Structure 1
Amino acid sequence: MIDQATLFTYLVILLGFVFIPGPAVLLTLARSTSSGVRVGLATGLGIAVGDVLHTVLAVVGVSAVILTSALIFSVVKYLGAAYLIYLGIKAIGTKIDPKLPITTNTLDAKTAFRQAVFLEVLNPKSAMFFLAFLPQFVNPENGFIAVQLLTLGLLFVLMGLFSTATVAFSAGHVGTFLRRNPVVMRWQNKTVGGIYCGLGIRLALQEQ
């Protein structure tokens, strides 16, 4: 069982970490403003599912294999980066007819969820976080290490989900106004696409 002092320190650090405008927050923000609250929440949930998988991998040691193998690390890194850049180019190339009102979401929740899970699973930075950060708060004297890692990882998932949900609710309502203006929507798609491409480039440049 993790002692209270360690747990409190971990939660304080985690609270600041999950609200830093990182890839998860920026992706949720982009999805919420372009497609609404529901899609933003689906994106956050997808990211959380991906983080659950990273937690399990950290517990069983698979993340260690990824980080010690330059080939596997590179494959995962570039697959995730390529997918983000693909989504960005697709968004930038989306054509909006200014004569037609925007009445539907540009992305459905199920698709957003699947994409978010895929992107998070292929994000080696998440694997590095769970492998390098979580063990700092593990003490062998407090019991099974696997249980401690699982507890810390799930706490991260829950706080991350709270962060993305907050972003989704805040940004989605702004997106409702934007989607009613085709001209604004056209430039918004380019902005969203730029965010995706930026995240992809950032991921590709992430060092092992």
Structure 2
Amino acid sequence: MSLAFLITTLVAVVTPGTGVLFTLSAGLAHGRRASVIAAFGCTLGIVPQVVATVTGLAALLHASAVAFEIVKYLGVAYLLYLAWATWRDRGELVVRTDTAPASARRIVVSAVLLNLLNPKLTIFFVAFLPQFATGFGEMVALSAVFMAMTFVVFAVYGVFAASMRDRVLARPRVMVWLRRFFAASFAALGLKLALS
């Protein structure tokens, strides 16, 4: 495993995207446990991408313009749905101490869908992994490193957001603006994906 691989992977994982936004919103809305579950769900959502890359399905998807466009627009639709749901559903990002904790299953399913419908992740694996891996075993090992880094970085983001939760509780207007920010960010990422 090369230093170039580790640095490139770290940069790719640390750069905020849909998974980071989702983990941050889970941490702010529901606390530390939810943020770690969201990080786990985002990491779990990478598994189908890894399987597709290792078995060659990702290359087929990359080669087929129609298949790629279908996955791309499913991703756009899901991001726009998240934007709409975040904007209108105050229960998702408004922090209250009297509410029940978020369902782990719901958080994981949302996070997995988020990464599953992310064609940029597929392209990243198709273009990135073959440069560093010579065989099947090495591709699996490097994918595992990528997933481990994803989980750790996303969990750090989420736990940090959860640590800010009490300060946000004291300022309800801040939470309203954060909810709007997350909704706008999901919408912007969806539009950017649609235009890419």
- 2:77 pairs, out of 66, 77, 82, with 82
Q: Which range moved further: 161-170 or 188-197? A: 188-197
Equivalent residue in structure 1 for 2:180, among 171, 180, 190: 190
Matched, 1:163 2:158: no
- 1:34 Cα offset (Å): 2.6
Q: Establish whether residue 120 from structure 1 lines up as the match of residue 110 from structure 2.
A: no
The aligned amino acid for 1:27 is F
Within-5 A mapping of 1:1-208: 6-95=1-90, 102-104=97-99, 107-139=102-134, 145-179=135-169, 181-206=171-196
Q: In structure 2, what residue type is equivalent to 1:79?
A: L
1:3 corresponds to: none
Instruction: Give the C-alpha shift of residue 191 in structure 1.
Output: 2.0
For 1:36 and 1:202, how far apart are their aligned partners in 2? 29
RMSD between aligned residues: 2.2
CA–CA distance in structure 1, aligned partners of residues 28 and 191 of structure 2: 22
Distance in 2 between the 1:65 and 1:201 partners? Answer: 25
Letter in 2 for 1:203: L
Q: Deviations over 1:141-186 (max 9, x none)?
A: xxxx111111111110000111101101111121233245444333
**In 2 relative to 1, CA 129–62 (structure 1 residues): closer, same or farther, beyond 3 Å?**
same
The SS at the match of 1:133 is helix
Q: Is the 8 A contact 2:18 2:114 kept in 1?
A: no
CA distance in 1, matches of 2:156, 2:90: 30
Contact 1:102 1:181 in 2 (8 A): no
Which digits, 9 at most, give the CA deviation of each residue in 1:41-74, with x for residues without a partner? Answer: 1211111111122111111001011111111111
Whole-angstrom CA distance in 1 between matches of 2:191 and 2:21: 14
1:80-123 CA distance string (max 9 Å, x none):
11111111112212357xxxx65326843321110110110111
Shift >4 Å, 4+ stretches: none
Which residue identity is paired with 1:178? V
Letter in 1 for 2:28: T
Gaps of 5+ in 1: 1-5, 140-144
Give percent identity, aligned residues only.
Answer: 32
Instruction: Measure the CA separation in 2 of the matches of 1:95 and 1:17.
Output: 31
User: How many Å separate the matches in 2 of 1:194 and 1:105?
Assistant: 26
Gap runs ≥5 in structure 2: none
Q: Report the count of equivalent residues.
A: 193
Name the stretch that deviates more: 160-169 or 196-205.
Answer: 196-205
TM-score normalised per structure 2: 0.88
